[in-house]
Structure 1
Amino acid sequence: MTSTATRAVGVDIGGTGIKGALVDVATGELLSERVKVATPRGAEPDDVLAAVVSVLETLQVADTDIPLGVAFPAIVKEGRTLSAANVSQTWIGFEAEAFFERGLGRDIHFANDADVAGVAELRYGAARDQSGLVIMTTLGTGIGSAILYRGELIPNAELGHLHRARHKRDAEAWAAYSAKEREQLSWKKWARRLQWYYSHLEFLFSPDLFVVGGGVSKHADQFLPLLELDTPIVPAVHRNNAGIIGAAALSAG
């Protein structure tokens, strides 16, 4: 989608919350208050659509032609959701983009939530002007990831699902921020898990920069200095707003 719009709306759908705002796509700054509603229990398509409509109505943009981008916690390919992270299994193989466009009565740009967060950091944040390979990870309920190479997004990287054979589970089950909370780990003990994870990514990809996002990035000084890597690792600039900003930016072209 191409556009000459200077403003766009971003909506970020998550497993626990759905949030949105109006964004200045030249600067990446929010032009409105961030509106957030709870993700409906079970996160079935019709209920999620109704919650998105509620966000747009609160923002007073439900019946406008302002470009709209929607971020979703799934692999997204040609408008279809091929996975379902913390939402109903109904979304697997679902024509999600067409569903939202029918329900909202407008065209949208629909993409994976970690990918759009990566775009936000690429255009307006920590990955801006980086010429090599950047890997962004979002540490939250799981581990989302975005691969950015020479200013371009390589979509649908699911690096949170790298397998840790010793523990017979995905890396995100062992190293996501939710694991720290669930097991009441200290920053130091959690950093040991992150050390394994980022060292493994470093071995596989030889990146030029790691960017760490998610709400926990506001506490980056508590854990990033504990990591010993050859690759620079920095906190994301836009934290939990990155999904909103990136979705809006992609919708505007």
Structure 2
Amino acid sequence: MQILGIDVGGTGIKGAVIETATGELASERLRIASPHPATPESVGATLRALVEQHRWSGSIGIGFAAAIQRGVARTTANIDPSFIGWPVTESPRRDEHVVEKHIPDAFIRSALER
């Protein structure tokens, strides 16, 4: 199975198609500079741009540094504090792109840093 793995970082948002059985990249790794401020709206627009650049319509895994409790961001690191209280697990694809599985952040980062 393949997913589009996306890592939301303080300076860049990176994405690539990942083969989940091996953790190997199945596409070119793309990077877009993180928006400033990195609000839910501006990060969402950048995520949509990465999905469109990959011409992706499958499952997506998104990792970013935040404590998530019951689907809601409770802390932030390297992104705007306006993420606190934001329903992370409900919002990434309410318009077009649904997050279908929770992929460990370390798995996504490991694959995208290769």
The 5 A counterparts of 1:86-165 are 86-110=78-102, 116-117=105-106, 120=107
**Aligned pair partner of 1:83 in 75, 88, 103:** 75
**Aligned pair partner of 2:40 in 11, 24, 45:** 45
Q: Match for residue 134 of structure 1?
A: none
Q: Match for residue 248 of structure 1?
A: none
Deviation at 1:109, TM superposition (A): 3.6
Residue type of the alignment partner of 1:92: I
TM-score in terms of structure 1 length? 0.41
List, as ranges, runs of 4+ consecutive aligned residues in structure 1 with deviation greater than 4 Å: none
Deviation at 1:110, TM superposition (A): 5.0
Q: Percent identity among equivalent residues? A: 31
Classify 1:243/1:42 alpha carbon distance in 2 versus 1 (closer, same or farther; 3 Å). farther
Q: Match for residue 206 of structure 1?
A: none
* Distance in 1 (alpha carbons) for counterparts of 2:98 and 2:35: 23
**Number of corresponding residues:** 113
Deviation at 1:60, TM superposition (A): 1.1
Compute the RMSD of aligned alpha carbons: 2.1
Deviation at 1:77, TM superposition (A): 2.1
Gaps of 5+ in 1: 1-5, 121-239, 246-253
**Could you say which structure has the higher helix fraction?**
1
* Distance in 1 (alpha carbons) for counterparts of 2:24 and 2:72: 29
Gaps of 5+ in 2: none
TM-score in terms of structure 2 length? 0.87
RCO greater where, 1 or 2, for CA within 8 Å and sep 6 or more? Answer: 2
Alignment check: 8 A CA contact 1:11 1:243 kept = no
Please tell me whether Structure 1 or Structure 2 has the larger radius of gyration of its CA atoms: 1
Residue 25, structure 1, aligned to residue 20, structure 2: yes
